[in-house]
Amino acid sequence: MKILITGNMGYVGPALVRHFRQNFVDSELIGLDTGFFAHCLTGAKLMPEALLDEQWFSDVREVAPIDLEGINAVVHLAAISNDPMGKAFEAVTAEINQHASVNLAAASKEAGVRSFVFASSCSVYGYAEGDARDENSELNPLTEYARSKIGTEAEIEALADDSFAVTCLRFPTACGMSDRLRLDLVLNDFVASAVATGKIQILSDGTPWRPLIDV
């Protein structure tokens, strides 16, 4: 099997590449990334990309069907991945997170890719009160980032058929150690603050909660 992972040089990508290499030992793993954060290593002695068979340096907005020929599965992580960036650059967020993602899925289907896995977000539920949410719960995207995710879900799910499986994973907020660590994420920020200052500062009354997932 040949697996393409977009956005592999971000925060989640290195952990995913390691998981695939350990659990799909006979698969050919290919990364696709602009390389913008390639230098942002967190103590890693070996570039995470050393576990790949190939690393492609490209923008997801530029991928064509011919580039995907022979690929069996695409795991699409690449995105502008936080609310402040989405708010500051709404048009670019929509272009990259939604339009490019839909085009990538369509190109994948045209090229004969069998499986397309999209990294969505549980931010599509907005501020949820009461019971836990699931796939059938009402959506309430409050940010451009969240709107781009639910918009992409709707468009790429329409592409699914017996020969092209589409899976949308609504991830909670990521946390934990990575070869390319992010400290703007809530739990990572708390830990970094505690280590650096001995204090954890919160910007609310302490009652809000959010789901988390360890990379």
What does the pLDDT look like over 40-64, one tens digit per residue? 898 877 899 999 999 999 999 999 9
Residue 170 pLDDT level (bands cut at 50, 70, 90): very high
For the segment 93-103, the average pLDDT, to the nearest whole number, is 95
Cα(134)–Cα(121) distance, rounded to whole angstroms? Answer: 12
Cα(116)–Cα(108) distance, rounded to whole angstroms? Answer: 8
- The rounded percent of the chain whose pLDDT value lies above 70 is 100
- State both tokens at 212: 């988390």
CB contact set of 124 (below 8 Å; sequence gap of 6+): 139, 140, 141, 146, 149, 150, 153, 170
CB contact set of 153 (below 8 Å; sequence gap of 6+): 118, 120, 124, 168
Superfamily name with CATH number, domain 2-214: NAD(P)-binding Rossmann-like Domain (3.40.50.720)
For the segment 79-101, the average pLDDT, to the nearest whole number, is 89
Cα(167)–Cα(156) distance, rounded to whole angstroms? Answer: 9
For the segment 119-127, the average pLDDT, to the nearest whole number, is 86
Fill in the amino acid letter for 192: A
- State both tokens at 1: 């099997």
pLDDT reading at 156 higher than 80: yes
> Residue 208's pLDDT is what?
78
> Residue 89's pLDDT is what?
81
- The rounded percent of the chain whose pLDDT value lies above 90 is 72
Across the chain, mean pLDDT equals 92
Name the residue among 65, 82, 55 with its Cα closest to residue 143: 82
Residue 99 pLDDT level (bands cut at 50, 70, 90): very high
> Residue 209's pLDDT is what?
79
> Residue 147's pLDDT is what?
92
